[in-house]
Amino acid sequence: MLYKPFFRFVFFLLFFIGWIEAKEVKTWSYVFFFDNGIKAYVNFSLLPVPAQGQKVACDLSFWSPKWKHPSVGRQYPPERMVVDKEKHRISIKEEYLMEGPIAKGHRVLFSAEKGGSFLLDVSFDSVIRAQKPSQNSWNIEKGSFFQEILIPYGRVSGKIAYNNDTLSVKGYAYADYSVQKSLGVESVSRSFLFSSKKYAGRLGISKKGELFGYALEIEGSQTRILSPKSILQNAKPYDGTRFPNSELEILWNEPVESLKIDASKVFQKFSVLQNFDGFIAKKAMKFAMGGELLFYRGQTKQDQTVVDWSISGF
């Protein structure tokens, strides 16, 4: 039975070799909620992949019963990412784009041929500008986490496609940017992302039960910074050790209404390992992360406002 310790050692060695080449994860995240009911989750990341070093990772997942919720992920050498600061343009092989200032006209392109044909090409028709807190970096045990909400709410239009089905779409979107340094991922129990016409943001709970991250309250074209005070489940503090299965209530330090998320109604469960190429890469990432990173996604209606949310963790 020596093969298990041996392979654990090999995976650890491969992980360490990859990690020393790139010790931080940078991620640009977009979530699109289209009026036809389809949702799209897009991430562009610079991250270390065990045994391979730093990679550019691009992934897209659709929530669409008609398309049976397809997803795709690609990884490329970091030199494939071309940054043009003057033009506010980040390109990966010209198949994946973040183009234009974070304002009206900002464009997101994702096109891939892998297990099917995927396309998302949308632009922002309007953007609510996001306030930035004076402190948006947190130390989390062995690492740190930086977060910036880029677009709390913006109307979008364009087209999406899966295989031969191309649709013109309109809707709204949320976008943020984060930097996770060192081994912070091992210290996080749960992460929450939520977006609506009233609240938008990303919060996390460390394994010590500490809250980090921030959100924005949206009032017309203005925003207000919110910091989390506590998260309750069944009127008791929620520590994040398990995925919640009932309503959560997020309380703020600011004098505003709490945010409620009905976590008993999950419309999609998604594993990040689905979008890594190859059996070895999937096993190595699972070992390196300490488990399988899952996303539970759902929707809650609060005071006539629809809140779309995603809860992630191991």
Confidence of residue 2 (pLDDT cuts 50, 70, 90): very low
Report the mean per-residue pLDDT for the chain: 85
Distance set, CA 102 to CA 116, 131, 221 (Å): 30, 13, 15
Residue of 151 and 134 predicted with greater confidence: 151
CB 33 within 8 A of CB 160: no
Q: Which of 95, 91, 98 is nearest to 117 (CA)?
A: 95
**Average pLDDT over every residue of 216-238:** 94
Query: Phi and psi (nearest 5°) for 17?
Result: -60, -45
Residue of 46 and 284 predicted with greater confidence: 46
Other CB atoms within 10 Å distance of the CB of residue 249: 15
Q: Which of 242, 233, 238 is nearest to 291 (CA)?
A: 242
Strand partners, 309: 194, 298
Distance CA 66, CA 280 (A): 32
Tell me whether residue 265 is exposed, middle or buried, using C-beta atoms within 10 angstroms of its C-beta: 0 to 12, 13 to 18, 19 or more: exposed
CB 122 within 8 A of CB 32: yes
Distance CA 248, CA 85 (A): 40
Distance CA 52, CA 29 (A): 23
CATH number of the domain residue 67 falls in = 2.40.370.10
Q: What percent of the chain has pLDDT over 70?
A: 83
Residue 146, pLDDT above cutoff 90: yes
Structure tokens at 304: 């006539």
**Average pLDDT over every residue of 2-15:** 40
| The predicted structure's pLDDT at residue 15 | 41
Residue 267, pLDDT above cutoff 80: yes
Confidence of residue 258 (pLDDT cuts 50, 70, 90): very high
CB 262 within 8 A of CB 247: yes
236-246 confidence digits (pLDDT tens): 999 898 999 99
Residue of 92 and 314 predicted with greater confidence: 92
97-140 confidence digits (pLDDT tens): 999 999 999 999 999 999 899 999 999 999 999 999 988 999 88
Confidence of residue 276 (pLDDT cuts 50, 70, 90): low
The residues near 19 (Cβ < 8 Å, ≥ 6 apart) are 48, 50, 288
Residue 186, pLDDT above cutoff 90: no
| The predicted structure's pLDDT at residue 231 | 97
Count of domains for the chain = 1
Residue 236's domain comprises: 3-313
**Three-state secondary-structure class, residue 232:** strand
The residues near 29 (Cβ < 8 Å, ≥ 6 apart) are 41, 42, 43, 175, 176, 177, 178, 193
Where do we find the tokens 């397809």? Answer: 70
Going by the DSSP 8-state scheme, the letter that residue 130 receives in this structure is P
